[in-house]
Every structure is written in C-alpha cells, then in structure tokens.
Homo-oligomer: A and B are copies of this chain.
Amino acid sequence: MKAGIIGATGYGGVELFRLLNSHPHVKQVILFSSSNAGEEFTSIYPQMDTEQNHRLEELKPEEMKEELDVIFLATPAGVSTQLTPELLGGKAKVIDLSGDLRLKDGSAYTKWYKKESASSAILEKSAYGLPEWNKEAIQSADLIANPGCFPTAALLGLGPLVSEGIVDPSSIIIDAKTGVSGAGKNPGAITHFAHLQENFQIYKVNQHQHIPEIEQQLTEWSPETVPVTFSTHLVPMTRGIMATIYLTLKENQTLEELKSYYESCYANEPFVRLRKEGQFPGTKDVYGSNYCDIGITLDPRTNRVTVVAVIDNLMKGAASQAVQNMNLLFQYEEKTGLPDLPVYP
C-alpha cells in the first residue's frame, strides 16, 4: 500500500509520517510539499533520518490519485477546498486533516473560517471521521473529514449523554485547554517560549472555529441543541488537550446511570478508556497515543455534571485518528500500526 502526505512539513504531517512509516500495511510513504518540493525531508527534520530517506515531492494530483492508495491532507485551512476535487475520482481515498470539509453547511464554514467553502457536492461526499460515532459511514466513504482536535475531545466526552437526550441543551459549557503544538509550526509571538513558559492564557473566547463543528455533531445527536459555550486556553506544554465539560441534566440521574451510558457507548471502542469513580485523567495519560481518556462526576451540591476528556492533540486530535480512519477505510484491524500505550513519563 502506498500513502501520500500533502503538507508533510507541518506538525500534523510529520506525526503522520512517523506513524505511517511503521504501519505494517504501508509499503511506501511519499511526502509532498508545495513550499519545499525538491528538498530532503531530513533537511527540515534531521531527526526523521531513517534507513529509507525521503525527498519532498511536487504535487501532481492527476498522477497521485492513480498511483497512491490513500492521500492525507495535513494542510492549512483553504488548501483542501482547492485540492480535494482534483484528488478524488481515481484509486486514492482521501483523508483531510484540515477543517475544510467538516461542516456540511458551507456558509457556516465561510462564517467561522473567513474563507470560501468547498462545493456542496464535496461536502456531502465527506464522512466525518469520528470513528467511535460514525464507523459505518467511514468504512464506506472515499473521503474523510478528520475531526478537529477540540471537537474530538469535546464530542467523545459529550456523546453518551447528549445522544441519550438527557442534557439541558442550554447548560453546556466546554472549557478547553491545549498544548501549543495545536498552533502549528510557524513561529509567532504566541508560541515564543519566553512568552508561553509560566503563562497560562485564554484565546479566541467564544470565537473558535471549532464551535460549529461541535454544534453540528451535537445537533445530529439531539435536535434540541442550542449554541454552546466553548473556551480555549493555551497551556505551557507541547501536546495534550483537556476538555472540562459542565452540564446539567433535564432530570436527576445517579452517577451510576450516567456512567452506564459511557460504558455501553464505548464498550467496544479500543481507544476510549473510562476512569473509575473519583478518578480523572491528565493529558500525559494519553501522550503519544490514540486514546481518549474520560472521567465523570456529579456534584450533589449543584446537581451539575462534570466530564473530563483528554487526548493528545497531534494523535487522536489529528494524525493517529487519521490512521485509525485509514484502518477503517481499508478494513484493517482498527488498532493496526497505532501505539498500544502512551509514553510516560
């Protein structure tokens, strides 16, 4: 099997490369880059030196779609909108890690991303690649919209309760925290070490482009869905997302009942792990892995539920979830080529 990565020099791309490079069913990984075509990959990432080194190739969609089995787009917003139409229709299946193809409503994309959206034909074609909730659609698709990092954590945390119809829809608050690798490889004032170290910051308050993605899936689970409150914070660390989710129930339920929804939803999901009562995961518990770890509690003083979901933003929030989707697309065992345990400490 031959895999291609477009945008291989970004953080999502290099993480994809690491995973595909050791995937047992991937014979060859070909790296594409519009800005660095012709260069050795190791001239940009000397640490990615391995026996079989790679040159960054120029993008030739016509050839790529026939010669490759799967193409990953790890590109900034707007690129997939342009490229996807040219990459489809041949042999290759396409997995897009950007936000371009996630929103079924093109006008919502334009509103939140301030860019022209893909055509509705393309948007309809794409399956939302959250395997724990959309496995069938993924398995039969040619085009996957890999979920955003925040929506992955938030939705895996909210799904069992919202899909059950027991949540007061106006009560949902998602207080999210992320490591800085989510901001990408390009240096800027916000990612400068001296600024970020010892600095916990909030950003894009009520304005993050992942909001409509979260609400789209919530609406699918529950038509009562109304706008949610979603805040994003920057943690002085490289990897990891925690979504601390607050909500109230329509009617009182016990913690045991609540936990049972999670257990039945995720009983057969190899990448969701539920914590015992009174225990909550930290982001390092999933570092370098494809896991989403979840803890839940109910406060008897306020009757409010707190759900905590953590992922590695570059893995379950991007690259390893894309490989999980590839496994599903090609009928491989879902865990193939994905690490079984996180890196600790």
Contacts and interface: CB of A to CB of B under 8 A. Distances in A.
Interface of A: 11, 14-15, 17-18, 21-22, 45-51, 170, 173, 175, 177, 179-181, 185, 187-189, 191-203, 205-206, 226-229, 231, 233-240, 242, 244, 246, 270, 273, 275, 279-288, 293, 295, 297, 299, 301-302, 304, 306, 308, 310, 314, 339-345
Closest 8 CB pairs of A and B: A199-B284, A47-B285, A201-B282, A187-B187, A194-B345, A227-B301, A206-B299, A175-B175
Contacts of A234: 282
Tally of this chain's copies = 4
Contacts of A177: 177, 200, 233
Contacts of A342: 47-48
Nearest to A284: B199
Contacts of A21: 340-341
Given A173-B246, A228-B302, A301-B206, A282 B199 contact: yes
Given A297-B205, A299-B229, A238 B46 contact: no
Nearest to A195: B345
Given A22-B340, A344-B14, A275 B233 contact: no
A201 B238 contact: no
A201 B283 contact: yes
A98 B250 CA distance: 40
A197 B238 contact: yes
Given A194-B345, A199-B282, A282-B201, A236 B236 contact: yes
Contacts of A193: 180, 191-193, 196-197, 236, 238
A270 B50 CA distance: 9
A337 to B, nearest CB: 11
Nearest to A282: B201
Given A199-B240, A228-B302, A229-B306, 6 more contacts: A49-B273, A198-B198, A199-B237, A227-B301, A233-B244, A314-B345
Nearest to A296: B205
A237 B236 contact: yes
Contact of A297 (B206, B279, B281, B286): B206
Nearest to A202: B280
A182 to B, nearest CB: 9
